[in-house]
Chains A and B, each alone.
Chain A
Amino acid sequence: MVDDATLEAWFCREVFPLERALTRFIRRNWREESDVLDLRQEVYARVYEAARDGLPRQAGPFVFTVARNHLINCARRARIVSFDQVADLESMDIQPDVLTPDRHLAARDELRRFEAGLEKLPRQCREVVRLRKIEGLTTRETADRLSIARGTVEQQLVHGMRAVADFMRGGSGKVRRPTSKARARNQE
């Protein structure tokens, strides 16, 4: 049984750098775009469960095999998904290109990438993250400095944290909010 500290270090070093390729892989093989991020999170969970019994020698093939099996299971379980999708997935070979992880970034590059992600944030969100990470201000000080509510500071931190994490792993780095479609539906 591998302990959590070892697993966490392994995830950060080997698994999360594969995120861009993994997301692309799921998107290519699953019809519902809105399921992609849920599926990715489930794949990480399955990877965790499988790696607990022993870390694999190579993370890449391991992660994509887990991902493929998970998609097949999901397609089988969801009776609303047609059966040809299951057939497609079962006959699918994992493409060699998805097995190549993004180059591991050196610490300095990671810091640059963090800054680039920060630059992409909306103005207020960027300012809140900057004040916390660089100036070391408290939530209250940030709220006072920007004349906004503390709850807003916290919400902007949540947005910023998530968007920067997405960008650092090769995503678009956009702030995720409830979609306008979801809002329209809720106001019916």
Chain B
Amino acid sequence: MAIFVDKKTKLIVQGITGRDGSFHTKQMIEYGTNVVAGVTPGKGGTKIHGVPVFDSVAEAAAKTKANTSVIYVPPQFAIDAIYEAADAGIKLIVCITEGLPTNDMSQVYHYLKAKGIRLIGPNCPGVISPGLCKVGIMPARIHKKGDIGVVSRSGTLTYEVVYHLTLADMGQSTCIGIGGDPVIGTDFIDCLRAFENDPGTKAVVMIGEIGGSDEEMAAEFIENNMKKPVVGFIAGRTAPPGKRMGHAGAIISGSSGLAADKIAALNKAGVPVADIPSQLPGLIRERMSPRKKTVKKTITAAKPAARDSAKKKAAPGGKTKKKTVVKSKRKLKTAPKTKKRR
């Protein structure tokens, strides 16, 4: 099991003929993603990597019954591309493009919300459910199928964390980069809720950064609604206030948005926060160990029983684990090597 993308995903690539769109379409197909169509206005009727190209999303969706779209078009066309996908009936839109104007995004956000459409991003690496489906730009081979959910505001930092998880033989159910902008379609809480309800996920790694208060709100959600263990990492502990650190959302203004406040909020919610990324696997192991589990149970037992029992759906997931081991040996070329070197 996984969240948001899996074997049922039928994907349209918007901007499939561009440098990045074309390159990553090939990579997604090689990973096993079901890419059913591409869209570039004016290039309808052609094919790229064997994928039929259409002039519009509406046409592509009608002919292929696609349910998901990924956007690689340049920023000045990306807002339009999101609306186009939404009006064509696509239910999950993943926007990789960065540099989208914030006020436009606030309009997009409320438009999609009213229609019940999920947007991931913009300015994000996408979503991958290892072994099942990859929608985005992340390097596939660092991933491994398993039962750890990963949600992050960053792109490459997510890869860094996934890399450490895989090295520690901890596979992932789904990894989502939600994007580093002030207005994003899917936030931490949306993903945490989905992971909590996903029988294939046993624990969650949450990677935050300075700026805004999303991590603090996520901490509150975890404290009140989650039974599965969550561990965290916050980037930007040493960032100076008032400077925008690359991500439009990563700016500390006044007293809010500081790494220290976010770490404190997470710790208060029972979420241990790693000092450096390589500590994360150890923290997960600790939180998942039987002894710690009982500690957590006594904490959660104080909460309303009804809520707890409703969430108690976690399946054993033994089957997935067996598959994982076999697959990973074939897929992972770099990771085991590095392991030996250590």
Do the two chains belong together in a single complex?
Answer: no
